[in-house]
Amino acid sequence: MEKGGTQRAAQNFAEAYRDLGHSSKLLFTKHSGVRRNQLIDNNIDVYGPIDTESLGVLRDWKPDVLHIHSHGLTFNDVALLKSTLLPRHTWETNVFSYPSEFSRFVDRSFQLSKWGQYLYLKRGGELSKTCVVPYPVNTARFQRSSQSSIGIVRRKLGLSIDDIIVGRIGQSYDSKWSPHLIRGFDKLREDHKSLKRLLKKRGKRWLLPCS
């Protein structure tokens, strides 16, 4: 229930099912977090972690579909959910394009892209079970920044009106970085000298105007 991408996808799916007119609930398996209150505010019941009380309530609810987000779940977790809830269908959002250790319990394995599906099949996944279903994106909070707020940020960073920033949006995990980001910036800057690379780590920012 923290701010990661898998957690965001689970929240977006839960809210989207509700918006389509279905009864939708969410079960977190280990830790609560900031998304719990957001879901509750959006009229999504939240349960967890996996315990006798949560499973009892959800068993009585009798879900038709169990939608699993595979990152962090174990074979025993899924086996318990299947045997207790007895859903008619079990789907997974497969995060890293590897067949899950609990694949035997899954009717459909959603891959995030065609490339992900190719890797999934190459790694032993079943063609009859897989299809491409990207993460849903909630655009409700997307908006264009005002010119005044843009100007404030540019002045704070020491940027001129013509400077273009290249960066990466995501959590600060080492595995989220790729050398391609640096090489791509260096290549672009051969033709666009106004490009600047903005790095932020541990509360500090570094603005690097050259490669």
- Per-residue model confidence (pLDDT) at position 115: 96
Condensed to tens digits (0 to 9), the pLDDT of residues 86-141 reads 999 999 999 999 999 999 999 999 999 999 999 999 999 999 999 999 999 888 87
Condensed to tens digits (0 to 9), the pLDDT of residues 58-75 reads 999 999 999 999 888 899
SS3 state at 24: coil
Which amino acid is it at 158? G
Asked if pLDDT for residue 209 goes beyond 60, the answer is: no
Asked if pLDDT for residue 10 goes beyond 60, the answer is: yes
- Per-residue model confidence (pLDDT) at position 204: 58
Distance CA 57, CA 31 (A): 19
- Per-residue model confidence (pLDDT) at position 205: 56
- Per-residue model confidence (pLDDT) at position 113: 96
Task: Give the Å distances, CA to CA, from 205 to 11, 78, 111, 164, 200.
Answer: 31, 42, 35, 16, 4
Q: Structural domains in the chain?
A: 5-132 (3.40.50.11190), 147-208 (no CATH)
Condensed to tens digits (0 to 9), the pLDDT of residues 140-190 reads 878 999 999 999 988 888 888 888 877 777 777 777 777 888 888 888 888
Distance CA 73, CA 45 (A): 20
C-alpha dihedral, 155 to 161 to 166 to 172, nearest 10°: 20
pTM beyond cutoff 0.75: yes
- Per-residue model confidence (pLDDT) at position 34: 82
List the structure tokens of 196. 């600047």
